Structure 1
Amino acid sequence: MNVEQILEKLKESLGDALLSYEIKEYTMGVRRKRTLYEIWAEIDKSAFRKAVETIFDIDYPHLHFITGEDTGGDVIKMIYSFGVYHGHPWGEISITLKFDLPKSELILPTITDLMIGAETNEREIREMLGVEFEGLKNKRHLFLPDDWPEGKYPWRRDEYGVDDMIKHTHKSVREIRKKGGENA
């Protein structure tokens, strides 16, 4: 499938839930010019799982990243980036899905049942932005201490109590040093 065919498959699968899209093209190389393609698609959050399943129907994707951004409003902007045909030299096509997740309902289905490698990304987003992933089995912290205050999310712009979070982190570092922790 080429980039246009992939976009058509997404349009067919998502219908009106595909809010906007753009194909980006990059030419690289000096002697042998190669072209790389990206699809950037903004979708309705209700179509998130269907969009991911459609990508899996095209080709087992490579997960580039999952991230989220709090722009200071009432939503977290979620971004998922996949690459299909990543095993084909110069043939990978990137597909990036963007959608708004209301802060009043920060819940998404996990994709770890489709791709176990998404667990690390989902756990990071969970602890840093407060997004819950339904079906995520391992909910332990990745980067924050195990005793990090519940309901405090460092990447959120509406987070209050940053001083408390900093004091808490310094306290945890001091405790590790007292116990003779490595690299402390």
Structure 2
Amino acid sequence: MTLTAEEILERLKEKLGDAILNYEIKEYKMGVKRPRTYQEIWMEVNKDAFRKAVEAIFEIDYPHLHFIAGEDVGEVIKMIYSFGVFHSHPWGEVSIVMKLDLPKSNLVLPTITDLMIGAETNEREIREMLGIEFEGLKNKRHLFLPDDWPEGKYPWRRDEYGVEDMIKHTHKSVKEIRKQRGEQNG
């Protein structure tokens, strides 16, 4: 049994109430010979209700995680989580895009890896690039940045100005690489 976007939204409203700050249902027509409709729910939630919102989605259907993204928009980091429910039903999938703002003074969210281990890669990337701490995330090793990356430097942050310092950690000169390999100049 699949639910429409309207039915899913009603269930989420029952669980979350005022924690849903705003919402919108979007519909897209796809196909020419046999046009189909695809639905998305876009909702903004209070950051304190984040975990409860994710659990409410899991109660509806085990979701497919499309992505987790973060953007520095000034005083806050805007987090975006995109899930798909009923993805195993042809043309029955509904996307749920959840947004929330994290103030830079408190960049902490609970991990969702206990619900969905596949979220680990996304959370680790956001952690190292934007500085968000995911409470309960067990594996905190870097994915993209070197292990000796300076603590407190986050490449995706607008308020990051340590570019010169970052460059020396991400680029080696051709001379240094050849020296490490034991190659002769020439």
Q: TM-score, normalised by structure 1?
A: 0.93
DSSP 3-state at the match of 1:117: helix
Partner of 1:139: 140
The answer to whether structure 1 residue 78 and structure 2 residue 71 are counterparts is no
CA-atom RMSD in angstroms: 1.5
The answer to whether structure 1 residue 40 and structure 2 residue 76 are counterparts is no
DSSP 3-state at the match of 2:81: strand
The answer to whether structure 1 residue 52 and structure 2 residue 82 are counterparts is no
* Cα shift readout 1:110-140 (whole Å, capped 9, x = no counterpart): 0000000000000000000000000000000
Q: Which protein is bigger by CA-based radius of gyration?
A: 2
Partner of 2:157: 156
Structure 1 residues 39 and 175 mapped into 2: Cα distance closer, same or farther (>3 Å)? farther
Match for 2:48: what amino acid? S
Structure 1 residues 79 and 172 mapped into 2: Cα distance closer, same or farther (>3 Å)? farther
The answer to whether the 8 Å contact 1:145/1:172 transfers is no
DSSP 3-state at the match of 1:21: strand
Partner of 2:14: 12
Structure 1 residues without counterparts, runs of 5 or longer: none
Whole-Å separation in 2 of the counterparts to 1:174 and 1:74: 42
Whole-Å separation in 2 of the counterparts to 1:63 and 1:104: 28
Structure 1 residues 172 and 109 mapped into 2: Cα distance closer, same or farther (>3 Å)? farther
What is the aligned counterpart of 1:64 among 63, 66, 72?
A: 66
Structure 1 residues 29 and 146 mapped into 2: Cα distance closer, same or farther (>3 Å)? same
The answer to whether the 8 Å contact 1:20/1:41 transfers is yes
* Cα shift readout 1:69-97 (whole Å, capped 9, x = no counterpart): 001x2100000000001111111100000
Partner of 1:114: 115
The answer to whether the 8 Å contact 1:27/1:33 transfers is yes
The answer to whether the 8 Å contact 2:146/2:169 transfers is no
Structure 1 residues 172 and 94 mapped into 2: Cα distance closer, same or farther (>3 Å)? farther
Structure 1 residues 59 and 179 mapped into 2: Cα distance closer, same or farther (>3 Å)? farther
Structure 2 residues without counterparts, runs of 5 or longer: 182-186
Whole-Å separation in 1 of the counterparts to 2:157 and 2:110: 21
Match for 1:134: what amino acid? E
Q: TM-score, normalised by structure 2?
A: 0.92
DSSP 3-state at the match of 1:104: coil
Structure 1 residues 37 and 98 mapped into 2: Cα distance closer, same or farther (>3 Å)? same
Match for 2:92: what amino acid? G
* Cα shift readout 1:132-153 (whole Å, capped 9, x = no counterpart): 0000000000000011001000
The answer to whether the 8 Å contact 2:78/2:100 transfers is yes
